[in-house]
Amino acid sequence: KAGVTQTPRYLIKTRGQQVTLSCSPISGHRSVSWYQQTPGQGLQFLFEYFSETQRNKGNFPGRFSGRQFSNSRSEMNVSTLELGDSALYLCASSVTGDYGYTFGSGTRLTVV
């Protein structure tokens, strides 16, 4: 079966702009989580959605937001981009959100 699909794979944005990343989970998976991966901070949790509701949120500023649609697809948005937002953004899905997360290949965001 198809894995977790993230689009686009690469993005280059300018400081101050905003960006939207997309994630299509594995069919039947209702939980979608987002993580930020950087060399300095490692893998950090952003937020988790289940059945269109945000159930959990990490320690990121309000510039980072997300949503989930009725088909479980999810988007995350980062407004007023800063250089420090450059990272690999990973989406992970699971059936119920308590175990067995499958990650996508990520979106590499570069802010210049």
Q: What is the binding site for other proteins (CB under 8 A)?
A: 4, 6, 31, 33, 35, 42-45, 48, 50, 55-56, 58, 90, 92, 96-106
Considering the complex, state which of residue 12 and residue 16 has its C-beta at the smaller distance from other proteins: 12
Minimum distance from CB of 13 to other proteins (Å)? 20
Minimum distance from CB of 4 to other proteins (Å)? 8
Considering the complex, state which of residue 18 and residue 54 has its C-beta at the smaller distance from other proteins: 54
Distance CA 106, CA 92 (A): 9
What separation in angstroms does the CA of 51 have from each of 48, 56, 59, 79, 97? 10, 13, 22, 24, 11
Considering the complex, state which of residue 66 and residue 97 has its C-beta at the smaller distance from other proteins: 97
